[in-house]
Structure 1
Amino acid sequence: MKRYRTPRAKSGQIKLQYGRVDGVNDLVVANGDGIPSCDRALFFSFLSSKSYSPVRNEWDDSFLEELEKRGYDIKTLKISVEKKREN
């Protein structure tokens, strides 16, 4: 059985990966120093929110749901993005 740890982001980075927080295994979005928690929320909201299609009068699956529906294992998903560096 795989042991999951709590993901840690570097300074200036937002990181998404499957991990363990408060005894629960799930997708985790971590933010490093200098990244406000609202940016972390924006990141996860974009990946997990459904969108409404008025033409079809129904809700479309979120990006994460669509990946699972197409047979992908989201436990292997890892995404990170870093702030632009000032020169």
Structure 2
Amino acid sequence: MVAGRLKVAVHGHTDNTGDPQANQQLSEDRAMAVQRWLETKSRSAFPEGRVQVYAHGATEPVASNSTVEGKAKNRRVEIVLGN
């Protein structure tokens, strides 16, 4: 099993373009897609309940949203083991 019995957190993020509520939903959709992929890829390693989803919208940028490159870096999904 991947990392034993540790919980897996999937964090979805967006840039700041558009409506904040739509960005919140988009970040959740991104994280949920990763959760579904993990659980489908290996049910034994990622049984139901092991993967937790968090949606952050545009609230936690890692780069400036004033450039195309920065916006691209902010549109991401992060996977954290052992949250």
TM-score, normalising length: structure 2: 0.30
Larger relative contact order (CA 8 Å, sep ≥ 6): 2
- Structure with more of its chain in helix, by fraction: 2
